[in-house]
Amino acid sequence: MKKKILIHSLIFSPDGVSTAYLYNDIALAFKRAGYDVVVLSTTPHFNIVPEQLEKQPMKWGIWGLYKKSLFEGIPVYHVPQKKFKSTLLRLIGFVYWHIVSFFIGLFIKNVDVIVSPSPPLTIGRLNNWLGKIKGCKVVYNVQEIYPDILNKPETSFVHRYLRGMEKRVYNNSAAVTTIDQVFYDTIVGRFDDKSKLHIIPNFVDTDLYHDGVSTKELDKKLFPETDSIKLLYAGNIGFAQDWEPLIRLAEKTRDQNIEYFLIGMGVKKKWVEEQKTLLGLDKLHILDYQPRHLMPAILAYSDLQYIFMTPEQEGMGFPSKVYTIMACARPLLVCSGDNTPIVNFLEPVGCAKLVTDHDLERKTDEMAKWLSTITRDDLRQMGAKGESVINQSYTKEKVTKQYVELVDSILK
């Protein structure tokens, strides 16, 4: 009889964000390895992509508590969620998802292993309880470190409560994975049994993301053909990224042949739009999310990708888009402090300009000066270094195999 994997994730296909794509590939890897796979998630609410909804239609299940779909033959249970503007409604929806997904999980039979990613931390605790009731193993994947990422005082009630929950999640799981050595070093002291903690990095689908993609299918009104150096960011426009350096850098380079593209949605998008209008930053182009199938062409359109991390959260997260950018042989311009996950990863590769100063004027001066001297040939050479590292170690085939091998080992 096949062993059964339950993937319990806040985000999964047909939602169109990076965590969904990551766990889509992990689910398919388990299926190819001979496991029976089932997924427990939400309805799309982060980035709704009509084409993906058409490909993966959802139908209401029993009592109208959830919807059900098939992803490449894998059954997926979707607890309804919406991206409410109201904090209270978001909290109610969050609690509802936990309660309903817990009861759905109870009725999924013959589960051998539950695999889930953070965020949220609470999903790990929920699965500890499910695992104990169902007599199965639990694997918890740390993508962001809570409560550290919340930047709350250690003496606060919230921090102390979540710190206790974090330790219970770690120590009641059969295995915990995290994405790099900095994360490992940060949390390993929180384990009673340190052998439970493993490093498995994120990865990229090199069948989709690679060098040499044509840009012909892009809308020329949104992505005009010009001879400017094009800096681009595509993803969530939220609190984890620092948007002041983008505005200040665009101001300082307004007379250079440079254009900036910001693609996505998020709570800080309106602020960036207001600053663009206020300061007359005509070379800053702000667009909505684009379909995933266009992303390789959008990356190919750019000369340089930028990621500016906030000092408060730079040590607790690693943008998975780094792998995607490198796979497309595009270099990066990164603002993040010394000894942070993104800097430690990129520094030895040589595919990024790393700016570690936290002072706004100094770091934007440094970037503006560098941009005034860099050539396209320099950028191509940097990008090629990143592509080589991805093909050596961070393809989806090589990394998802590590997840399968880990689950194989804890079941044996």
For residue 317, pLDDT beyond 80: no
Domain-embedded: residue 101: yes
Q: Looking at the structure, tell me whether residues 262 and 325 fall in a common domain.
A: yes
Q: Looking at the structure, tell me whether residues 18 and 80 fall in a common domain.
A: yes
pLDDT digits (tens, 9 = 90+) for 83-127: 777 888 888 888 999 999 999 999 999 999 999 998 899 999 999
pLDDT digits (tens, 9 = 90+) for 231-268: 999 988 988 899 999 999 999 999 999 999 999 988 99
Domain-embedded: residue 40: yes
Domain-embedded: residue 96: yes
- Stated pTM of the model: 0.82
Residue 266: CATH number of its domain: 3.40.50.2000
Q: Looking at the structure, tell me whether residues 308 and 190 fall in a common domain.
A: no
For residue 152, pLDDT beyond 70: no
Domain holding 129, by residue range, is 4-203+396-411
Residue 320: predicted pLDDT: 83
Q: Looking at the structure, tell me whether residues 128 and 148 fall in a common domain.
A: yes
Residue 372: predicted pLDDT: 95
Mean pLDDT for the stretch of residues 53-70: 91
pLDDT digits (tens, 9 = 90+) for 297-313: 999 999 999 999 998 87
For residue 190, pLDDT beyond 90: yes
CB burial of residue 103 (10 Å; 0-12, 13-18, 19+):
exposed
Say what percent of the chain tops pLDDT 70: 99
Order of strands, sheet of 67-71, starting from the edge strand that comes earlier in the sequence? 59-60, 67-71, 74-79, 36-42, 4-8, 113-117, 137-142, 175-178, 197-199
Residue 313: predicted pLDDT: 78
Burial state string for 168-201 with b = 16 or more CB within 10 A and e = fewer than 16? ebbebbbbbbbbbebbbebbeebeeeeebbbebb
Domain-embedded: residue 221: no
Domain-embedded: residue 193: yes
For residue 181, pLDDT beyond 90: no
Q: Looking at the structure, tell me whether residues 111 and 180 fall in a common domain.
A: yes
For residue 277, pLDDT beyond 90: yes
Domain-embedded: residue 287: yes
Q: Looking at the structure, tell me whether residues 197 and 237 fall in a common domain.
A: no
Q: Looking at the structure, tell me whether residues 95 and 237 fall in a common domain.
A: no
Q: Looking at the structure, tell me whether residues 279 and 378 fall in a common domain.
A: yes
Q: Return the closest-CA partner of residue 264 out of 226, 300, 295.
A: 295
Q: Looking at the structure, tell me whether residues 400 and 389 fall in a common domain.
A: no
Q: Looking at the structure, tell me whether residues 252 and 264 fall in a common domain.
A: yes
Domain-embedded: residue 209: no
For residue 151, pLDDT beyond 70: no
Domain-embedded: residue 223: no
Q: Looking at the structure, tell me whether residues 176 and 264 fall in a common domain.
A: no
Count how many domains the chain has: 2
Say what percent of the chain tops pLDDT 90: 76
Residue 405: predicted pLDDT: 97
Q: Looking at the structure, tell me whether residues 159 and 119 fall in a common domain.
A: yes
